[in-house]
Amino acid sequence: MPSNKSVSDAPIVQFTNCRILRSHRLQREDLWVREGKILNPEKLFFDEKGSADIQLDCKDSIIAPGFIDVQINGGFGVDFSLATDDFKSGIDLVSKKILSHGVTSFCPTLVTSPPSVYHQVLPQISIRNGGAHGAGILGAHLEGPFISKEKKGAHPEHCLRTFETGAFQDLLATYGSLDCVRIVTLAPEMKRSSEVIQELTKQGICVSLGHSVANLSQAEEAVQHGATFITHLFNAMLPFHHRDPGIVGLLTSDKIPPGRRVFYGMISDGIHTNPAALRIAHRAHPKGLVLVTDAIAGMGLAPGRHTLGQQVVEIDGLNTYIAGTKTLSGSVATMDACVRHFQEATGCSVETALEAASLHPAQLLGIEHQKGTLNYDSDADFLMLNDGLYVQATYIAGEEVWRQDALGM
């Protein structure tokens, strides 16, 4: 039989004394990692006759997949919707800082902006793996400008656009390029949106429904054309009505194509959605729930005035409003705080809360074979957490990239 080193010279790390989230439950077993991937210990023992080079005692921590945030507008003073000369250093700062909140991959999100902003910013966003430099970038989430005036929320009305005769060409002209784009949020009731949804889906881009006054049949039609996500459920859409539940009705619709799952984002910060609404959504469609922060530049900073794209926003405690109004504009919640609030508000299991921030966003983006799980051969992006779901350490590709102790906390 081959020796340990004939397969790879890379060291094998064994994480012991832990509870691993695997197959939807916490299991008391060890986690084995080599070359940035999660190893199958049986293959290691029986095929390679191998053993661990390094053993790490996790002191009874929970080990869960790294969190994936598919809607984050910025943080720590950085606004992804502002075209600046040092945009790259801004995105680097956010990707580094969110490691302490358990985020190992994210989709930098741009709110409705003038075409010039997309043309300047999008070429500066590059898809990349995470590491000690920060969380991985999975591609941009473009929220707008093809959304409803009535449900614009914090999006500037003068920048909103509609689809004209050459609908997809309008979108391309607005954004400039789709090279690094992963998600587009649009309002499905807009004329010609169906052809845009089909074309985006064909290009492997996830279409999300949001900032919309669509009725249920318009939302169902969008899903039949390829849409798979709902942007921050309940926020910036028609409220649920028993005769026409609108986009919210997709959670229990019987018109979803076979084999397709509709996912929906929820800002579980205790501000955007009443805990009862969170519970209703979760109980109606638990496997589609994706936790998002919708965080803005003010996340991680003191209360006061900050920006969200073209608008000035004011932070008052955990509330963020367009300055001078009571219109909510993003959040200052961190992903780990959203996970804790979700678990507390719904009474769901620890496993369910953790999967809403890891497995479900990975499934939404079709990357669940690499990320969002601790299955064998998947990327070794994972967190150590205590029983209160506070992050103790963050690992990307099996390397420790953040640890609480390192900050003397």
Binding residues: 143, 154, 211, 232, 235-236, 243, 272, 328-330
Establish how many alpha carbons lie within 13 A of residue 245's alpha carbon, considering only the half-sphere containing its beta carbon: 11
Let me know if 294 is a catalytic residue: yes
For residue 135, the one-letter residue type is: A
Q: Name residues whose C-beta falls within 8 Å of residue 220's C-beta, 6 or more positions apart in sequence.
A: 250, 253, 255, 256
Binding residues for Zn(2+): 143, 211, 232
Q: State both tokens at 36.
A: 């940035």
Q: Is 258 exposed, middle or buried (0-12, 13-18, 19+ CB in 10 A)?
A: exposed
Binding residues for substrate: 154, 235-236, 243, 272, 328-330
What element of type H or E holds 28? strand 25-28
Phi-psi region of 211 (alpha: psi -120 to 50; beta: other; left: phi over 0): left
The end-to-end CA distance of the chain, in Å, is 47
Q: Give CA 167 to chain center in angstroms.
A: 27
Bridge pairing between strands 399-403 and 391-396:
antiparallel
The catalytically annotated residue of 69, 79, 269, 294 is 294
Q: Name residues whose C-beta falls within 8 Å of residue 119's C-beta, 6 or more positions apart in sequence.
A: 175, 176
Cβ–Cβ under 8 Å, residues 266 and 281 = yes
Cβ–Cβ under 8 Å, residues 239 and 224 = no
Residues identified as active-site: 294
